[in-house]
Amino acid sequence: SWSLFQVLSVSQNQLRSLPWTLSNLLNLRKLNLSNNQFSQLPTCVYSLRSLVFLDLGWNLLENLAENIQNLTELRILILEGNHLNSLPKALCNLSSLELLNVDFNDIKDVPQEFHQLTGLRRLACHPLDSGLHILHNPLMKPTKEVLEGGLNALYSYLRTPA
């Protein structure tokens, strides 16, 4: 039965949307939507509350809806190679997140609430590292010097009132 699917990969298919019926895959744990043409995350994905892995790398995403916080089990979120210019504060509610890859986007600053993502143990440089991947973005806040200090320096910076 379809409802028992745990892994689904539709990578490299030039997809722009997904059928709403995908939301019936309540046991889905891993979803690979990378290398498609999504300009926004399909609404049906927000109801897949068992997801622990979501790859949206190399699409056309410009933003993420606040509904991203519905995916409370998410441990790995890959958003590299999109057109994101900011990260929603709701992302900071994903307390299970261990890897967040936002490399190669247009992100200019990081939400102050980002320090709440305690599952991210460090700033990651290697593609297989867990932690926060945030290289190759035109960051204005925090500065490159803060990032060079690692995740603790970033969190200290974010906790300091502006």
Is the confidence at residue 122, as pLDDT, over 90? no
pLDDT band at 110 (very low <50, low <70, confident <90, very high): confident
List CB contacts of 37: < 8 A, sequence separation 6 or more: 14, 15, 16, 59, 60
Q: For position 124, which CATH number holds?
A: 3.80.10.10
pLDDT of residue 128: 56
Mean pLDDT of the chain: 89
**Contact (Cβ atoms closer than 8 angstroms) between residue 30 and residue 8:** yes
| pLDDT cut 70: percent of the chain above it | 93
Domain that holds residue 84: 2-159
Count of structural domains, the chain: 1
Structure tokens at 66: 């606040």
pLDDT of residue 162: 62
